[in-house]
Amino acid sequence: MKIRRKLGGVCGSDVVVSWRLFFWFVVLFVFSFVLFSTMFVFKGKFRPVVRSVRSFSTARAVMGDSATLSPAVSIREAVKLPEQTLVFLKYPPSLRLFTKDDLICVFSSGDDSPKLRKEKPEAVDSDKFGGQIVRCPETPPGYTVSLAISRWTMDDHLAAGPTHQWDWLVYDAVIDHDNSTVVFVKGLNLKPGKVADVSRYECVYGWDFAKHNRLIRSDVISAAQEIVRCRTPLTVLNGPKSAHGPVKVSVRIKGGSGMLPSIAQPDRIVHPPRRKPFEMCVCTMTRNAAAVLREWVMYHAGIGVQRWFIYDNNSDDDIIAEIKDLERRGYNVSRHFWPWIKTQEAGFSNCAIRARNDCDWIAFIDVDEFYYIRSGESLTSIIRNYTASAEIGEIRTPCHSFGPSGLRNRPRGGVTEGYTCRVILPERHKSILKPESMNTTLINVVHHFHLKDGFTFADVDKEVMVINHYKYQVWEVFKEKFYRRVATYVADWQNDENVGSRDRAPGLGTRPVEPPDWAERFCEVNDTGLRDQVLEKFKDNKLQRLIWEKEEDEGSRRAHNRID
C-alpha cells in the first residue's frame, strides 16, 4: 500500500512514502535508544564514589584543566615515622568514614616500571577536623605511599599527597585561651628547659603555603623546647573559612633553613565555664597500656581523681576497647591519639592547655605510678592542705621505685597488690599543677612545669604522700621499655648515651637480655602499705577479688609464682 502526498518542496514535486520503510525506521530508532541508554547506565553503575588516580588523569587528558571531580575523599598529606607512615584523609561533609577493613596501603616505586606493594593498615583514627589518620606500615625506601579502597581494581588508588619527615615538621597547633597560637614543632633542636631567642623565628599562616604572596606572617611570643607561641593574626581569628579547609600554621627560621613543612591546623580552645566541672584530673602519655589501665583508673578514682586524659602514643593493643569499657562503667576517660614519637614534654603541654578548662588541678604521672596516701585521705584533701596560700601553683610528690618483688609472671591482682619490695631512697618527684600557674613557654621537665612569676611549688612530705612507681616489674613487662622512651631529651635504653643515668636500670646495660637474678633486684625494703590499703578498700568481698580484676582472672589470681 502506498500513500501519495503532495509536499510543498522547493521543486513542488510529489513524494511517495512507503509504510514498510516507515515501520523499520521506527524500530531502528527505538532499538538504538534502548541500547545507548543501557550502556550509559551500566558504564556508571559501578564507578566508586572515591575517584582514583587513573580516572582523574584520564578525565584531565580528555577534558583538559577544566575537568573537576565531584566531592570525594582525598589524601591531604602523609608523614613518615620510624616503623609506620601516617596518611591523612580529607572527607567532604556528611560522607561516611571508612573503616580499617575498607582501606589498603599502597606503596609505589618511582622507577619507569613502577612496582606496587599492598598491605593492610595497622589502625585508623579520627582527626579533630572530621578526617582520618590511617596508620600504614613503614614506607620502603624509594617508594611513595597512597591508599586504595578494598573493592577497587588492582591498579586504582588515591593520588598521593605531599609526604613529610617526622623530625622536620610542624605537627600540631592550638589556639589558647588568650588567642595566641601554641605551635608544636620537631626540628628546631632547642635546649631542654631553656627559652630561645624569639627574634630568630616568625610564624606563618596560610591555606596554601605554595602561594607565597597570600601568606600571613606574625611575631613569635616565646620559643622553648618543641613549642613556639605565636601572636595569632586577626584575619585567622575572625576570617571566614577557606574552600581549602582550615588554615595551617608553620614556623620560619629567619636567615636559616626557611619554613618548616606543616600539617598543623590550629583548633580553638573553648573558654572555660564560670566553675570548672572537675577538681582533680590526670594526664598521661602511654603506649600499650591496656593491661594496666583498668587498675590505674579505678584505683585513682577511689582516691579522688575525676577525669583522665590518655595520650595514646601509637598503641597496638586493646587500649581503645579498655577505655570504652571504662567509659561505660561511668569513668570520665578520653583518648587522644598522639602519634609523635619522643614528644612527651610537648604532649603534656598540649594536655595542660586542653585540661585547664575542665580541671582545677592536673597530675602528670605514668600508668605505672600510683599515689599512696598513708592516712587514707583523698587526694583532693591533701591538695587543699598544701595550697592554703594562693601562691602555690604546683605540688611535688616524691617517688619510690619498686622492683619485681620475687615475681616471674605478671601479678594477677595488679601491680598495687603484687609488687611489695622497693629501693630505700626516693627517686625524683612528679607534679600536680594548677593550670593557671603555667609559664607561657609551657616548659616542663620530668613531669613538672616552669611557673609564672608570683607562683611557687610545695613539696609533699613523704610521710604524708608518695608515688609508688612500679618501675622495675617482671621481665615480661619491663623489657618493653627498650622499645622507645617517650621523653624528648631522654636517651632510648638501647642507645649507648648516658648509660649511667638514673633513667636507666642500674647495671642492666643497653640490651634487653634478662639477668638471671632479675626477680630479686631492686629489693632493699619490704613495703606493703599500699597493698594493704588496696585489699581493704578495693576488694569485692562477695566475689573475693579486686574490683579491677576481670572474671577470667579469678580462677588463677593467687598464682603469683614466687621464687622460693
DSSP string, 420-438: -EE-SS---EEEEE-GGGB
Indicate the fold that domain 278-539 takes in CATH: Spore Coat Polysaccharide Biosynthesis Protein SpsA; Chain A (3.90.550)
**Angle at the Cα of 414 (from 411 to 418), degrees rounded to 5?**
55
Can you give the residue ranges of every domain in the chain?
Answer: 74-165, 169-268, 278-539
**What distance separates the 2 farthest-apart alpha carbons in the chain?**
124
Cα atoms in the 13 Å half-sphere on the side-chain side of 540: 12
Q: Which residue has the cell 561533609?
A: 93
Q: For residue 538, give Cα distances in angstroms to 229, 548, 559.
A: 44, 8, 19
| Same fold flag, 74-165 and 278-539 | no
297 and 308 in contact (C-beta within 8 Å)?
A: yes
**Separation CA 471–CA 288 (nearest Å):** 16
Q: What is the pLDDT of residue 362?
A: 98
CA angle centred on 301, ends 296 and 307, rounded to 5°: 95
Residue 369: CB partners within 8 Å, gap ≥ 6?
399, 430, 467, 468, 469, 470
Q: Please give the Cα distance from 59 to 518 (Å, whole number).
A: 66
Beta carbons within 8 Å of 131's beta carbon, 6+ residues apart: 76, 88, 89, 90, 91
Residue spans of the chain under pLDDT 70: 1-71, 112-113, 152-155, 239-244, 271-273, 482-507, 509-510, 552-564
Cα–Cα nearest to 482, from 464, 454, 503: 503
CATH number belonging to domain 169-268:
2.60.40
Give residue 151's pLDDT. Answer: 76
Reference 374, options 236, 527, 506, 542; nearest CA is: 527
C-alpha cell at 177: 585561651
Per the DSSP assignment, residues forming a β-bridge with 324 are none
How high is the pLDDT of residue 562?
A: 44
| Closest residue by Cα to residue 157 from 212, 118, 120, 121 | 118
Amino acid, single-letter form, for residue 338: W
- CA pair distance 90, 270, nearest whole angstrom: 24
- DSSP for 327-355 reads HHTT--EEEEE---TT-HHHHHHHHHHHH
- State which amino acid sits at residue 315: S
Take residue 426 and report the three cell numbers written for it: 626516693
Half-sphere exposure of 402 toward its Cβ, with a 13 Å CA cutoff?
27
List C-alpha distances in Å: 389 to 93, 386, 434, 455: 50, 8, 13, 10
Question: How remote is the C-alpha of 522 from its chain's centroid?
Answer: 34
Instruction: Print the SS3 string covering 115-154.
Output: CEEEECCCEEEECCCCCEEEEEECCCCCEEEEEEECCCCC
Residues pairing with 163 in the sheet: 78
What's residue 356's pLDDT?
93
* Residues 170, 77 contacting (CB under 8 angstroms): no
Instruction: Give the DSSP per-residue string, 279-316.
Output: EEEEEEEESS-HHHHHHHHHHHHHTT--EEEEEE-S--
Amino acid letter at 329? R
Does domain 74-165 fall under CATH 2.60.40? My reply is yes
What is the full DSSP assignment across 455-482? -EEEEPPTTTEEEEE--S--HHHHGGGG
Amino acid in position 222: S
Question: Which of 355, 346, 487, 460 is CA-nearest to residue 398?
Answer: 460
Determine if the pTM surpasses 0.95: no
- 555/185 Cα distance (integer angstroms): 49
Strands 333-337 and 307-312: parallel
Cell of 214: 597570600
Residue type, 320: I
Angle (CA) 481-485-490 rounded to 5° is 125
Is the alpha carbon torsion for 347, 353, 356, 361 positive or negative?
positive
- Amino acid 155: pLDDT: 63
